[in-house]
Amino acid sequence: MGKFVVRQTKTGVKFDLKATNGEIIATSEVYTTERTCLQGIQSVKNNCVGGIEDQTVENFQVLKHPKFEVYVDKAGEFRFRLKAKNGQIIATGEGYKRKDSCLNGIESVKKNAPEAPIEKEE
């Protein structure tokens, strides 16, 4: 089972969702407080059931929130972002060379996030 790891940064608090093998699947923005970071984790748990909007294809179908958006970044890599019901980005994935790897990342979030425990990094 994956886990959420909460950690301090120079400017606030953020979380990473890690898979069972320790790889980071998704990461958050930097929050100003630990409380808002924990609310972000709960939002990921609640919203990771959304569909996948593939913005890399022509005439893609726009889905309602919550949803995962798949897109190509400036470096030409495939990425995903999870948007909550209110349209806010609550988690993002790393860059992937292949789209199927990006889609596997999304499936890993869907599988791991709902039951993932929360740990604090010291």
Strand 51-54's sheet: what is its strand order?
51-54, 67-72, 78-83, 89-92, 24-27, 13-18, 3-8, 118-120
Tens-digit pLDDT profile for residues 64-112: 999 999 999 999 999 999 999 999 999 999 999 999 999 999 999 999 9
Share of the chain above pLDDT 70, in %: 100
Q: pTM of this prediction?
A: 0.94
Alpha-carbon distance of 113 to 116, in angstroms, equals 5
Q: 1 falls in which pLDDT band (50, 70, 90)?
A: confident
- For residue 28, what are the CA distances in angstroms to 14, 59, 78, 99? 6, 29, 18, 21
Q: 38 falls in which pLDDT band (50, 70, 90)?
A: very high
Token output for 67 = 């949803």
- Domains within the chain, CATH numbers bracketed: 3-120 (2.30.29.80)
Q: What are phi and psi of 20, to 5 degrees?
A: -55, -35
Instruction: Provide the b/e sequence for 5-39 (b: ≥16 CB within 10 Å).
Output: bbeeeeeebbbbbbbeeeeebbbbeebeeeeebbe
